[in-house]
Amino acid sequence: MGREVMEHLAVRPDGIYLDATAGLGGHTRLIAERLESGLVIANDRDAESLEIARENTREWAEKIRYRQGRFSQLDKTLEACGVGQVDGLVADLGVSRYQLTEGERGFSLQSDGPLDMRMNRTEGPAAAEIVNFEAEKALADLIYQLGEERRARRIARAIVRARPIRSTLHLARVIEEAVPRTGRLHPATLTFMALRIAVNREQEELEALLESGPRLVAAGGRMVVITFMSTEDRAVKRGFQRLAREGRAQILTKHVVKPAEKEVLENPAARSAKLRAVEMI
3 state SS for 52-93: HHHHHCHHHHHHEEEEECCHHHHHHHHHHCCCCCEEEEEEEC
Q: Which amino acid is at 132?
A: N
Which among 35, 57, 34, 33 has a CA at the least distance from the CA of 44? 57
| Residue-range domains of the chain with CATH | 2-96+202-280 (3.40.50.150), 120-199 (1.10.150.170)
Rg (CA), the chain: 19
* Residue 103 binned pLDDT confidence (cut-offs 50, 70, 90): confident
Strand 274-280 relative to strand 249-251: parallel, antiparallel, unpaired?
antiparallel
pLDDT of residue 111: 86
**What separation in angstroms does the CA of 174 have from each of 41, 139, 154, 167, 183?**
42, 15, 11, 11, 18
Q: Which amino acid is at 231?
A: T
Tell if the pTM clears 0.75, that is, is over it: yes
- Render pLDDT for 121-172 as a digit per residue (tens, 0 to 9): 888 899 999 999 999 999 999 999 999 999 999 999 999 999 999 999 999 9
Portion of the chain with pLDDT greater than 70, in percent: 99
- Render pLDDT for 199-243 as a digit per residue (tens, 0 to 9): 999 999 999 999 999 999 999 999 999 999 989 999 999 999 999
Higher pLDDT among residues 109 and 242, named by residue: 242
pLDDT of residue 109: 85
**What separation in angstroms does the CA of 44 have from each of 48, 68, 79, 254?**
9, 5, 16, 29
The contacts of residue 201 (CB under 8 Å, 6+ apart) are: 124
Q: Is the pLDDT of residue 101 over 80?
A: no
pLDDT of residue 269: 78
pLDDT of residue 94: 87
Q: How far apart are CA 126 and CA 200, in angstroms?
A: 9
pLDDT of residue 184: 83
Q: How far apart are CA 91 and CA 222, in angstroms?
A: 11
- Render pLDDT for 166-200 as a digit per residue (tens, 0 to 9): 999 999 999 999 998 888 889 999 999 999 999 99
Which among 99, 101, 24, 31 has a CA at the least distance from the CA of 55? 24
Q: Is the pLDDT of residue 252 over 80?
A: yes
* Residue 113 binned pLDDT confidence (cut-offs 50, 70, 90): very high
- Render pLDDT for 53-78 as a digit per residue (tens, 0 to 9): 999 999 999 999 999 999 999 999 99
Calculate the average pLDDT of the chain.
94
Q: Check if the beta carbon of residue 99 is closer than 8 Å to that of residue 107.
A: yes
